[in-house]
Each structure stands twice: as C-alpha cells, then as structure tokens.
C-alpha cells in the first residue's frame, strides 16, 4: 500500500497570512483534497486528475505536479473559518492503493 | 439536501454486545465505504461496496461485517465489539468507484463515535 506524506503536520498562523501545505507520494491517477472540522466528516474541496492542473476555489488554489507525484494547497489571506484538518487522498488507475494522508492541522488565529 | 446519514452519532457499549451502525445516502451513489479514524493512524478503510450485493474488504476488516441489500443503505455490523474497536467511524459514498477507490470524491457522513468498554 502506498503512503501519502503531508507537510507540515501542524500550522498555526495569524488571520490574513498566506500559507501552503503539501502532499507527496508515488504517482497518482487522481488526487482529492478534503477539509475536516472537529467532530465532523471530511468535506471534499477539489479533485485533480491532470499533471500540471491548477484549480481555484475562492481563496484556495490547488496544484497537481506535472509528474502527478505531488500536490499543493495554497490559501491566500487565511481566515479563522479556514481552521481545520486538511487531508489529501489518492490512488492509482486500477482502484488499488487508495489512501488518505495523515493531514495538516491548520489553526488560523484572529 | 444531498447527504449521507449515519446513526447513532455517539454510542457507548460493552464488550461482546452486537451493534449496528446505520448509513443511508440519498444521492443514488453506487459506491459506499466505511472508514475508521484514529489518532496517529488517520482514516483507514474497513469495507467498501461497488454496488448492491457487491462488498469487499478494505485495509482493516477484522471484527466487522457489512451488507448492501439496497443501493441507499450500507450498515456496519460489529458482531462482538472489543475495546480496540473504540474509534470514530465514517460512512462515505461516491457516484461510482473501483475496488477500494472512489472515482469521484466522497461525500462523508457526520461520523459515529463508538466507545467499547
């Protein structure tokens, strides 16, 4: 089973700052990003499938590496509502090895 | 509203007492899955179902059973719960999937926090 690495593990920033979190592993066919708030289930933010793909969701920018071995999530002007656990998840073309990463726990202080 | 509904949200039980956690989705999704989430171990797949009457083991199936008699429901059964099954459980669904992977992103339920004493 392949593993996903996410960094940093924890991140605490002030409101208004920018940040980037990372997800790395072997080659994926597609990759998903989720945000999970305490006591709730993860909520899908985006799915990326094409190497080099960039998707934007308001202040969130998601990038999939050209070789599909890594992905990043950039948040511009973070707000307290962005606080949560950010998870990446991915697998190969054959439905094997789909796993979730350990997550980055983000805290945005007012 | 499109959603995955799990019940109960919280459950405390004793070792060996059979229990069922229900899961229902209203999105006509083919693919459903159960995960458990533990500190330091993240989300791990227990069982998945690619369609009605089609279920298979995920990464941590020991001590669990599932059934998929109809498309919308995917209950998780613990025949004889033990303390190491204390965890936060999530049911999730996706439009379709292959083996252990959803083709599309998951819609997750709100979770069931289970404590086995």
Looking at residue B110, what is its pLDDT?
97
Looking at residue A23, what is its pLDDT?
96
Q: Which of residues 35-64 of B touch A (CB under 8 A)?
A: 35, 42-43, 45, 59
Gap from A99 CA to chain B (nearest CA, Å): 8
Q: Which residues of A touch B (CB under 8 A)?
A: 1, 32, 34, 39-44, 47, 87, 89, 91-92, 94-98, 100-103
**Residue A2 binned pLDDT confidence (cut-offs 50, 70, 90):** low
User: From CA B94, how far away is CA B32, in angstroms rounded?
Assistant: 6
User: From CA B102, how far away is CA B92, in angstroms rounded?
Assistant: 10
- Is residue A27's pLDDT more than 80? no
Looking at residue A68, what is its pLDDT?
86
What is the tens place of the pLDDT at every residue in B14-43? 999 999 999 999 999 999 999 999 998 999
**Residue B50 binned pLDDT confidence (cut-offs 50, 70, 90):** very high
Nearest to A32 by CA among A93, A108, A81, A86: A86
Looking at residue B113, what is its pLDDT?
97
A44–B106 CB contact, under 8 Å: yes
Looking at residue B13, what is its pLDDT?
96
The answer to whether B98 faces chain A, any CB pair under 8 Å, is: yes
Find the largest Cα–Cα distance for chain B.
37
**Closest-CA residue of chain A to B88:** A39
Report chain A's mean pLDDT, rounded to a whole number.
Answer: 92
- Is residue B91's pLDDT more than 90? yes
B26: number of Cβ within 10 Å: 12
User: From CA A80, how far away is CA B64, in angstroms rounded?
Assistant: 38
Which is more confidently placed, B87 or A94?
Answer: B87
What is the tens place of the pLDDT at every residue in B56-90? 999 999 999 999 999 999 999 999 999 999 999 99
The answer to whether B104 faces chain A, any CB pair under 8 Å, is: yes
DSSP state of B73: B
> What is the H or E stretch that residue B37 is in?
strand B31-38
What is the tens place of the pLDDT at every residue in A32-85? 999 999 889 999 999 998 889 999 999 999 999 998 889 999 999 999 999 999
Selecting from B45, B101, B108 the residue whose C-beta is nearest the C-beta of A42 gives: B108
Torsions phi, psi for B89 (to 5 deg): -110, 140
């Amino acid at each position: 089973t392949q593993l996903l690495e996410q960094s940093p593990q924890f991140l605490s920033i002030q409101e208004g700052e920018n940040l980037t979190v990372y997800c790395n592993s072997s080659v994926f066919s597609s990759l998903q990003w989720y945000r999970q708030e305490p006591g709730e289930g993860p909520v899908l933010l985006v799915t990326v499938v094409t190497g080099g793909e960039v998707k934007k969701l308001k202040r969130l920018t998601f990038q999939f590496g050209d070789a599909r071995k890594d992905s990043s999530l950039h948040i511009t002007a973070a707000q307290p509502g962005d606080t949560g656990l950010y998870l990446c998840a991915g697998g190969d073309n054959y439905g094997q090895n789909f796993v979730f990463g350990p997550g980055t726990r983000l805290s945005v202080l007012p | 509203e499109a959603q995955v509904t799990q019940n109960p949200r919280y459950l405390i039980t004793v070792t060996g007492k059979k229990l069922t956690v229900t899961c229902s989705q209203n999105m006509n999704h083919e693919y459903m899955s159960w995960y458990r989430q533990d500190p330091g171990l993240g989300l791990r797949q227990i069982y998945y179902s690619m369609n009605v009457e089609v279920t298979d083991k995920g990464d941590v199936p020991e001590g669990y059973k599932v059934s998929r008699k109809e498309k919308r429901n995917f209950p998780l059964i613990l025949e004889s719960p033990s303390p190491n099954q204390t965890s936060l459980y999530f049911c999730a669904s996706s439009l379709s999937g292959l083996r252990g992977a959803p083709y599309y992103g998951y819609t997750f339920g709100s979770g069931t926090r289970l404590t086995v004493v």
